[in-house]
Chains A and B, each alone.
Chain A
């Protein structure tokens, strides 16, 4: 079975450029999460979608970050403009949730390692 697929695996770009990270959740899953992982702050939840609708975006650090889920099989996380402090590994996860999505096992992709120069 295909797991959560993220692209690209690595991204290196210069400060000020727009960055788009992509995620394909596991087929049939109805909840999708975007996380950021750094050495300093660990794994942080950025945003959570349920049935393609953003439910909790309280973790999105600032207006430079935006996320969309146009359909059940695709989501994007965009940073515009990017800054060096955005360098991190960004993970996407999905789960099948009937109600309380946080209580369900989350299936993570292998992440996008983002470096902003």
Chain B
């Protein structure tokens, strides 16, 4: 059965303090791993899609990386506006649908 686990559940950082969020997955035949950002009271907003181990993608202060077992979302010198819940999702060849993790709630203090 395909599974997605995100850690930590919550992370509080000082502005400028870099860190990483983890997404561990168990899936048969990864077709895609996705990162979304969700602000309170809003729907998720697409950030990245990764397809194969070794792939990396960047957007402003965010960088997503992928291995065969996990993905990391690295945030460099975060700002308070980066505060949000970050969701990871996977789609595998054995699953008929996309599966989301429970998210990491990131809080950046000024």
Our pick among B31, B43, B99, B102 for the contact of A100 (Cβ within 8 Å) is B31
Asked if B77 is at the interface of the complex by the 8 Å CB criterion, the answer is no
Query: How many of chain B's residues have a CB under 8 angstroms from any CB in A?
Result: 20
B32 A102 Cβ-Cβ under 8 A? yes
Interface residues of A in 68-117 (CB under 8 A from B): 91, 93, 100, 102-103, 105-111
Q: Are B49 and A107 in contact (CB under 8 A)?
A: no
Check B100 against A43 for contact (C-beta < 8 Å).
yes
Stretch of B17-25, B59-67, B68-76, B90-98 lying at the A interface: B90-98
A102:B31 contact, CB within 8 angstroms: yes
Check A102–B98 contact: CB distance below 8 A: yes
Task: Tell me, yes or no, whether A56 is within 8 Å of chain B by CB.
Answer: yes
- Shortest B98–chain A CB gap in Å is 5
Residue ranges of B at the interface with A (Cβ–Cβ < 8 Å): 31-32, 41-46, 49, 87, 89, 91, 96-103
Besides A56-B96, A102-B91, 18 other CB < 8 A contacts?
Answer: A4-B43, A42-B102, A42-B103, A43-B44, A45-B97, A45-B98, A45-B99, A48-B97, A56-B97, A91-B44, A102-B32, A102-B98, A105-B46, A107-B46, A108-B42, A110-B42, A111-B41, A111-B42
Query: Which A residues are within 8 Å of any B CB, using their own CB?
Result: 4, 42-45, 48, 56, 58-59, 91, 93, 100, 102-103, 105-111
